[in-house]
Amino acid sequence: MSDNNYDEILRNYTQQQVDDVLKNSHYILIDEQMIPAANCQSGVVAFYVRDALVQQKPPVAATYYRGSDSNGIIVSLQSIGDFDVGEIARKFGGSGHKNSAGFQVQSGCMEFVSEKG
């Protein structure tokens, strides 16, 4: 198999995973902000999911998953423009930059809204 074929297969596989996760996107309420989000643990796929969500529904998007501590939820935020997700993450003990940040919260500290993202 040539490298070009392998790259195309990998891109298609990753895009299919992203599309599958996006089908189940919804909103979460964080720091009084309704944020489009999806439950996604995979690092590369989660990055592309956040990127797609923030492009579709700017200026901010999130992915999250249950951490190894069964009571904790790991949240990753991405924004475009002047929306500072680092500020939100710091409020919850996390860190990051203006357009990319993350934090961990206990279950129950984040409201999940059933409306599709």
How would DSSP label each residue in 44-63?
Answer: HHHHHHHHHHHHHSTTEEEE
Q: What's the confidence (pLDDT) of residue 2?
A: 67
CB count, 10 Å around CB of 26? 15
**Residues paired with residue 12 on neighbouring β-strands, in sequence order:** none
Could you state, in chain order, the average pLDDT of each consecutive group of 10 residues for the chain (117 residues)?
A: 82 94 93 93 92 96 85 92 96 95 83 64
Query: What is the pTM (predicted TM-score) of this model?
Result: 0.86
Nearest to 111 by CA among 47, 22, 33: 33
Q: Where are the domains of the chain?
A: 3-116
In CATH, the number for domain 3-116 is 3.10.310.30
Q: What's the confidence (pLDDT) of residue 69?
A: 67
